[in-house]
Amino acid sequence: MKQNLAFRRYLSAHHHVDTEFQILASEVQQHMDCTTCANCCRYSVVSVDQAEIEKIAGHLGTTPAEVVRLYTVPDPDSHASRTLLNAKQGCVFLDGTLCTIYEARPKTCRDFPHVAVGVHSLGSRLSSHVRWAAHCPIIFNALEMYKHLTGYHPHLPLGATDKPHV
């Protein structure tokens, strides 16, 4: 994590744009099977809006009120929003490494790991990617490739590592 923080500072000081990173990450993503990992489902807090709640309800064959009651909690950062319930294993809809509502999953889940070229959302910022590198093999591998592409040379202490936990 320290190395990736130093890399983020390096990029800022050398005025690198994130488009090159997004291209690399999009290419890496094409070669990864997220169902072997599902760390995004274990570590994310996913906000859902009313339309997403209704879509989940339709998928489950229940009412939006039941989805709210059984599968969401109030968002601590917003009185108007809710988040999907998380347990020790992750999202309430995670079964092993598979999403049980995959076809109705919220936009945040559909967009993860937020590496679409030209998208500049909060989730697609390099600072967000640096935080996710320890959990997401797509982000980790793309960051390592991007370090090489930008000429970054880390100075980690002997024995230090930045490998993702998969």
Over the stretch 65-86, which tens digit does the pLDDT of each residue have? 999 999 999 987 777 789 999 9
Nearest to 41 by CA among 114, 110, 94, 82: 94
**Do the domain assignments include residue 129?**
yes
Which domain range does residue 94 map to?
46-106
120 and 88 within one domain = no
Query: Are 15 and 97 within one domain?
Result: no
Domain contains 142: yes
Considering its fold, how many domains does the chain have in total?
A: 2
Residue 41 has pLDDT above 90, yes or no: yes
Same domain as 117, residue 35? yes
Residue 88 C-alpha from the chain's centroid:
18
78, 130: one domain: no
The pLDDT of residue 76: 79
Is 164 a member of any domain? no
Q: Does 55 lie in the same domain as 101?
A: yes
Model confidence pLDDT, tens digit, residues 117-126: 777 665 557 7
User: Are 130 and 94 contained in the same domain?
Assistant: no
> Has residue 12 been placed in a domain?
yes
158 domain residue, yes or no: no
- Sign of the four-CA dihedral 166, 160, 26, 106: positive
